[in-house]
Amino acid sequence: MHNPQVPETLEGWSLLHQMFRLRWDALRQLTAGERRAVGEEAAAVLGPMEAREDGATAIVYLLGHKGDLMFVHFRPDFETLTACETALAGLRLSDYLVPTTSYVSIVELGMYEMTAKIHHDLAARGLKTGSDEFEAAFDEEMTRQRDRVSGRLYPSIPAGRYVCFYPMNKRRGEAKNWYTVPFERRAAMMREHGMVGRHYAGKVTQIISGSIGYDDWEWGVDLFAADPLVFKKLIYEMRFDEASADYAEFGPFYTGLRMAAGSLPRLLDGGRPDWQDAEQGAPRR
C-alpha cells in the first residue's frame, strides 16, 4: 500500500563502487615486461567495459591514503554487477590489488513533490487510499513518471574528469530524526536543498543512488566535474540548508581523476596515467 507519508522513489542502474590499494611493493618485484603484460591484459578486459549499451564502468585514480583505484560500475541489475566483480577478479592485476572498501546501491530519484501531487489528484477523483482502485491508479501514474525521467534513471557516466564519491544518511537521533518529521516539512526542506544544486547546473553532474538495505549508509552520491573546486563549493554551500545542517550525516569522501583503461600499463610502471578528457571522452595526457 502506498503511504502518503513515505515519498515514492524510482530506480534505475544498479551501482557497484570498488576501491583498491595497489601492491606497489609486489609490482616492483616484476620485470618491466611482466608489469606491462599485467597492465595490457587489464586494459584489454576493462577497456570494452568503459562504454556499453547496458551500462558502463569508470576507472578513477584516487588521491590520498584511502586507495589507489576506484572502479564505478553502472549495470542493469545485480547479476551483471557480479559479472563485473568476477571479470576484475579474474585478471592478473587482481593479484596486486588490495580491497579497501566497496559500496552497493541503485540509482534513485526521490519523488517528494510527485508523491504529494498523485495522492492529492487521486483523492480528488474520489479514490480512497488503500483501495484496489487507488493502488492501480497510483501504479499507473508512477509508470508514466518513470517513462518521463528514464534518462535520469539510466544516465551515461558523466564525462567530468574529476570524481567525488561519498555515502550519507539522514539523521535518526533522539533530538533530530528525519523520519519523524511531517511529510510536508521534509518536502519543503528537500526543495530548498535542490535549489542549491540548481545553482551549479552545468558545472557539476550529480548521481544519487539509494542503498537502504544494501549497504551501511542510506545513499551514495557521485559528483563529476571539470574543476574539482566545484565539489568544495557545492558541498560547503549545501551544509547551510536545513536538510543538511540538521539532518545529514556524511561518510568518508573519495576524490580522484578519471583515467582510461588503456593507460593502466603506464600506471603500473610508475608513470602518470592518461586522464579521460572531460569534453571528448578520449584519453588525454
Annotated catalytic sites, by residue? 166
Q: How far apart are CA 273 and CA 283, in angstroms?
A: 9
Q: How far apart are CA 110 and CA 94, in angstroms?
A: 37
User: Across the strands, what pairs with 172?
Assistant: 177
DSSP tag of 216: S
Q: Are 106 and 15 in contact (CB under 8 A)?
A: yes
Q: How far apart are CA 127 and CA 69, in angstroms?
A: 53
Smallest Cα–Cα separation from 58: which of 42, 74, 40, 43?
74
Smallest Cα–Cα separation from 80: which of 45, 49, 40?
49
Q: What are phi and psi of 274, to 5 degrees?
A: -80, 130
Give per-residue burial for 239-251: e unless 16+ CB within 10 Å, then b: eebebbeebbeeb
Residue 174, C-beta contacts closer than 8 angstroms, at least 6 positions apart: none
Q: Which amino acid is at 79?
A: E
Q: How far apart are CA 13 and CA 32, in angstroms?
A: 39
Which run of H or of E encompasses 58? strand 56-62
DSSP tag of 273: P
Residue 99, C-beta contacts closer than 8 angstroms, at least 6 positions apart: 18, 19, 20
